[in-house]
Amino acid sequence: MGASLLGLAGSSLWPEMQSFAQQAQDFVMGPPMYDIAPQQISKHVWIIYSPDGFPTPENRGMMSNVTFVVTRAGVVILDSGSSLQIGEMAIRMIRKVTDKPVVAVFNSHFHGDHWLGNHAFVNTYGKQLPIYALAATRKTIEGYEGNVWRTLMEKWTNQSTSGTEVVAPNRTVEHGQVLNFGDVSLRVHYYGRAHTDADMCVEVVEDKVTHIGDIAMANRIANIDDGSYRGTFKYYEALQKAAGEQLWTPGHGMPGKDILKTYGTFLKGIWEPCLQAVKDGKTESEARAMVLRDPRVASRAKTMQGFDSNIGKYTSLAYLEAEKEAF
């Protein structure tokens, strides 16, 4: 009888215990992010570079670059990082470069490593700090997926990012819009589905530097679960036509003037064999073998971050997209 009563009591208290556990977790803070010195890549643009392409407990979620633009009006952030702690580190590093305040943040897309750092900037500069994004990015972060990314980052880093809150963009921008910050103009580019359905590129007009988020990467195989191979190639063509020669600044890897070309070549090494395999009636397994033999892919297999763990999945996605296009 006593055990039964205890069981009933425990059952009745379970919702309260769950609530307490969640509240306790909310008060747990991950460790501070170690400092990474910013590198100047043009007159106005600096990058806090992440050598790692994927989150681990060791790198505390530092898997993507934080780029910032120093203008007469203040500092503008182009992607804020993966956590509160990384955003706080970025603020420390910015203060080594300039005493000007952060006056705006841009989020290139809705994957969490590019916006979870918003929390730090709002904490420091106030809730009215403008955070710009495309409408679809803003809506996705405000919805269910925002908390999914927060939880996943904690899991992947063994709770190193704990304490980070979801802070969604509060301003919407559109393709072609130009925002002026003192002596610097930022132009918004958007040309449809690529890495996701809402990839915003931001051109720093005076410097001929364009922040491209994750539409292309220097040496990391990109997540394309939310994207399109064919759409990516169309995006590259339209962006290059509109912006001309630029120093392309990716979310992962160091900037370069040839990133769209080199990464596009790699992606075509996946896409074109899959498209041909579908046309020839070959299976997905046969398509994968064709991809791995393609010199555009094979030449990067040993050096590209995440290649072995992701090439199979992204070949499958290319094959599925090719099937839809063929039929």
Query: Looking at the predicted structure, is the pLDDT value of residue 98 above 80?
Result: yes
**Same-domain check for residues 304 and 212:** no
Exposure string over 276-286, b if 16+ CB within 10 A, otherwise e: ebbeeebebee
Q: Where are the alpha helices (DSSP H) in the chain?
A: 2-27, 84-97, 118-125, 135-142, 144-156, 229-243, 259-279, 284-293, 295-298, 307-326
Domain that holds residue 183: 39-257
SS3 state of residue 188: strand
**Same-domain check for residues 99 and 234:** yes
Query: Looking at the predicted structure, is the pLDDT value of residue 212 above 50?
Result: yes
- Select from 257, 277, 296 the last residue of a domain: 257
Q: How many domains, in total, are found in the chain?
A: 2
Cβ(85)–Cβ(160) below 8 Å: yes
pTM of the model: 0.90
CATH number at residue 144: 3.60.15.10
- Select from 209, 224, 257 the last residue of a domain: 257
Mean pLDDT for all residues in the chain: 93
Distant-in-sequence, close-in-space partners of 136: CB < 8 Å, separation ≥ 6: 110, 197, 198
**Same-domain check for residues 53 and 154:** yes
Q: What is the pLDDT of residues 73-97, one digit of tens each?
A: 999 999 999 999 999 999 999 999 9
CA gyration radius, the chain: 22
Q: What is the pLDDT of residues 168-200, one digit of tens each?
A: 999 999 999 999 999 999 999 999 999 999 999
